[in-house]
Chains A and B, each alone.
Chain A
Amino acid sequence: MASEMPLKSEDRVILEMTNITKEFPKVLANDNISIYLKEGEILGLLGENGAGKSTLMNILYGLYSPTSGKVLLNRNEVSFQSPKEAIRMGLGMVHQHFMLVEDLTVTENIILGIEPGKAGVIDYRAAREAVVGLSEKYHLAINPDAKIGSLSVGLQQRVEILKALYRDAKILILDEPTSVLTPQEAEELFDVIRELRNTGVAIIIITHKLVEIMAISERVYILRRGRLVGEKRTDEVTKEELANLMVGRDVVLTVHKEEKNIAADPVFEIIGLTIESERGINAVTDLSLNVKPGEIVGVAGVDGNGQRELAECVMGLRKVNGGSVFFKGKNITNLSTKQRIRQKFSNVPSDRQRFGLVMGMKVSENCIMGEHDRDPFSRGINLNLSTIAEYAERLVEEFDIRTPSVNIPVSNLSGGNQQKVILAREFSRKPEFLLVSQPTRGLDVGAIEYIHTQILKMRDLDVAILLISLELEEIFSLSDRILVLYEGEIIKEFRAEQTDEREVGFYMTGGQRDSAEEPKRNAYADTTA
């Protein structure tokens, strides 16, 4: 525990959680944690996945009841049995995965559960007025009649915040609020948070992102494996200190990338690629790119701008409507996925549980998938079980996969270890071309460090790597070249060392379509509609 911090007399404590312990059948999720929150404060709650942050907040929000410990709200002990009670007492929570009904309008989502109206009939006019009033009061522009599904992620988050404010939230809990936002959207959110603080709302931010803590919070608690390991004032602490506290050992935040001579001729090339989406519109239009051996090309972009279609087409999982794909000078546009794998293509898909692994099958089986029908893993129609087991055990050791055995279902492993299984399988195949999509989605600092190091190792082996990621930080720490994908087109290409996150983020939101003088305003032009 860090040393106690003296309270100044004018800081009124509005919320206290003392000695909170929460036991689940197999894990101790929270071990004797005590925190407090002052009026009008922005508080950070930092920790890796599984550190117990969300459990603690779910206890506060009435989703779980603690095994022991007390929650004091304005000095009165409370014990919420359901979120409904917590909401009534002035708590609001914006979940990481939004609790919004996509098929309903903004207004319907905000009023859901406490609709204005008589005799069970909703007074839609009053509801709409209330939403407009709220949006004006807090300067959170939104179209009350828009369907949630049609809004950008940033605006959806705004609806979540309005939803809490409509319920008179005095304490707002934000769970991993920037994980889905572009840098511009994140900054806009920080402005909103400060604005809310100024109107007297206290804010708790749960996150594993250090940048976020440093950018916005005033005070931060650090959790590790269910324990509180520190309390710091943000202006008195560095990122590195926080990272070390969070992980419990020294971590490298940005992996070191060696300068490297890259071969002049591309090994992988796409020319004029056009792909139609399921809805019949172009998901990717006239896209060209190339990757050279030993080079990492990062494709940056906001989710849904053609990343999925591009990745599927590279692996031969989707029909191409125009253009060609070349590998080592040969046109491979019409080759099947299996043929591509035979040609030394490897793929780390973005959704590891749906496309990277067969969750119900063993670790060993997942380790050989794709090669299972070839020597040495099979002979005739028989699988060579002992060879497979030996091979899997070797990979488990080599890639430091934490599993009790190679014979348990891969679904029993943690997210980071599941990703390592995919990496082990794909990287051990000695690929010449590697497609990596979202390799660290949802993983914590330690796992990210490992995976980034492995990807750079492949680069050192002169593999041509195409990296598709929504995380700008990741794009920057790995890529040699950066391509910005917007509405299915590459609208800008940078050398990594000649640009920064702000500039790339600006192009990611279609910035080049407006005049370039004031990026931030333009990026948000749609929000004022």
Chain B
Amino acid sequence: MSSFLSILNEDLIVATIRLSTPITLAAVGATICERTGIVNIAMEGLMIMGAFFSALFAYTTGNPWIGLMAGMIFGGIFSLLHALATVTFHIDHVVSGAVLNILSFGITRYLLILSFGHPGTSEPIPVYLGEFEYAIPLLSKIPIIGRAFFSQTPIVYMSFIIVIWFSFFLYRTKMGLHMRASGEHPLALETLGVSVYKMRYGGIIISGLTSGLAGAYLAIENSNAFTEGMTNGRGFIALAANISGGWNPIGSFLASLFFGFADALQYRVQAISHAIEWLTDVPSEIFIMFPYMATVIVAAGLVRRSRPPKAIGMDFIIEEERM
């Protein structure tokens, strides 16, 4: 039993943060997007696009920072499809999102073969962002949480800043107020002279950028190559995190941390299972299921209590067009 408890250590917290980072990034983006009234289930697709293009650019230029930018930008560009479909052409948000998810897996596989000559995994990139780990003096020495929060790699730090920035953005800036109003009562906003379309485009693009960044994290920071399907459902977990977090950036972050923790725990239990008598016969797949099970249970428990934006998923057409 003592060996089982041994997995509860500082490393577990560090791993929690690292595993939750891509979920956090996609979830915060989804929060902003959904607060403007657009349902976004396309994070999975946006993320895989970000992952592919970050790896491609990091590989061809040899510069992972260019890869990072490329991941974000292509996530943003790909999200424009969702904006065009849902805002401009008034297509159902879930249909558009589902299409984007399927499309992105096809596109990345196609481009992978085109660029690297084979499916599966790309060539490893020469320099990856995981090498740029930086420990902030003093802060990283704080016991227990110091290493997890203050001795990290670039995109992890960026994710912290993004959470704080978007909380401020949503609740303290004019555009944030407009975005919230756009998801609650778009007609009220439009009649006061603020374009609902612009707010919704903005929200979708923000989620494209952050999901693209999440993909870059997976491909060029957490590993050093692109693998088909490497997002592994994280975009959907991000969706659950956004909802469980009550459509609030901080809430999304905390929910993402929980899912990251479930994942970290799973890895550790798997690693020590052979050493513990009553766990040896349990197939490893059971442990892999754990974070997904946690998603279902937490989402089922929390979702009922959180209130979605009132106009979410509802199409908005400016009066004159309707005539």
Contact = CB atoms under 8 A, between A and B. Distances in A.
B184 A83 contact: no
Nearest to A163: B192
B192 A101 contact: no
A95 B185 CA distance: 13
A63 B193 CA distance: 11
Contact of A99 (B174, B185, B310, B319): B185
A100 B194 contact: no
B157 to A, nearest CB: 24
A272 B144 CA distance: 59
A121 to B, nearest CB: 5
Contact of B189 (A65, A113, A121): A113
Contact of B172 (A63, A87, A102, A121): A121
B193 A87 contact: yes
Contacts of B180: 101, 103-104
30 contacts: A24-B323, A25-B323, A58-B319, A64-B320, A64-B323, A83-B190, A83-B193, A84-B193, A95-B191, A99-B187, A99-B188, A99-B191, A100-B185, A101-B180, A102-B185, A102-B310, A103-B184, A103-B310, A104-B180, A112-B181, A113-B178, A113-B194, A114-B192, A115-B174, A117-B174, A120-B173, A121-B174, A122-B172, A122-B173, A122-B174
A82 interface: yes
Contacts of A25: 323
Interface string A50-92: 0000000010000111000000000000000011100100000
Contact of B319 (A64, A103, A121): A64
Interface centre among B178, B193, B309, B320 (most CB of A within 10 A): B193
State which size class the interface on A falls in. Answer: 20 to 34
B175 interface: yes
Contacts of B189: 101, 112-113
A120 to B, nearest CB: 5
Contact of B192 (A87, A117, A120, A124): A87
Contacts of A99: 185, 187-188, 191-192
Given A64-B319, A64-B323, A100 B174 contact: no
B177 A115 contact: yes
Contacts of B173: 120-122
Given A99-B191, A101-B181, 20 more contacts: A25-B323, A63-B191, A64-B323, A65-B320, A84-B192, A87-B193, A95-B191, A99-B185, A99-B187, A99-B192, A101-B189, A102-B310, A108-B177, A112-B181, A112-B188, A112-B192, A113-B178, A114-B192, A120-B174, A121-B172
Interface in B163-189: 172-175, 177-178, 180-181, 184-185, 187-189
Contacts of A121: 172-174
Interface in A354-382: none
A408 B190 CA distance: 35
B192 A100 contact: no
A450 to B, nearest CB: 31
A112 B172 CA distance: 13
A56 to B, nearest CB: 15
B171 to A, nearest CB: 9
B102 to A, nearest CB: 30
Contacts of B185: 99-102
A102 to B, nearest CB: 7
Given A25-B323, A113-B194, A104 B184 contact: yes
Nearest first, the 8 A-B pairs at minimum CB distance are A84-B193, A113-B192, A99-B188, A101-B184, A83-B191, A101-B185, A101-B181, A115-B174
Contacts of B310: 102-103
A239 B320 CA distance: 36
A121 B171 CA distance: 10
A337 B309 CA distance: 33
Contacts of A64: 319-320, 323
A218 to B, nearest CB: 28
A104 B181 contact: yes
A102 B174 contact: no
A102 B172 CA distance: 18
Interface hub of B185, B194, B309, B310 (most chain A Cβ within 10 A): B185
Contacts of B177: 104, 108, 112, 115, 122
Nearest to B168: A121
Nearest to B319: A63
Interface in A1-51: 24-25
Nearest to B182: A101
Contacts of B323: 24-25, 64
Contacts of B193: 82-84, 87, 113
A407 B184 CA distance: 38
A87 B323 CA distance: 23
B165 to A, nearest CB: 12
A368 B120 CA distance: 61
Contacts of A93: 191
With a 10 A CB-CB cut-off, give which of A24, A108, A122 has the most chain B CB atoms.
A122
B245 to A, nearest CB: 16
Interface string A270-308: 000000000000000000000000000000000000000
A83 B192 contact: yes
A58 B187 CA distance: 14
Interface string A119-161: 0111010000000000000000000000000000000000000
A82 B323 CA distance: 15
Contacts of A122: 172-174, 177
B188 A120 contact: no
Contacts of B194: 112-113
B59 to A, nearest CB: 38
A88 B226 CA distance: 54
Nearest to A111: B177
Interface in B247-273: none
Nearest to B188: A99
A93 B191 CA distance: 10
Interface in B26-59: none
A68 to B, nearest CB: 16
Contacts of B172: 121-122, 124
Contact of B188 (A84, A100, A117): A100
A121 B187 CA distance: 23
Contacts of A114: 192
Contacts of A63: 191, 319-320
A470 to B, nearest CB: 22
A12 B12 CA distance: 78
Among B180, B181, B189, B323, the one with the most A-chain Cβ atoms within 10 Å of its Cβ is B181
A46 to B, nearest CB: 24
Interface string B190-201: 111110000000
A82 B189 CA distance: 12
Q: Which of B175, B189, B192 neighbours the largest number of chain A CB atoms within 10 Å of its CB? A: B192
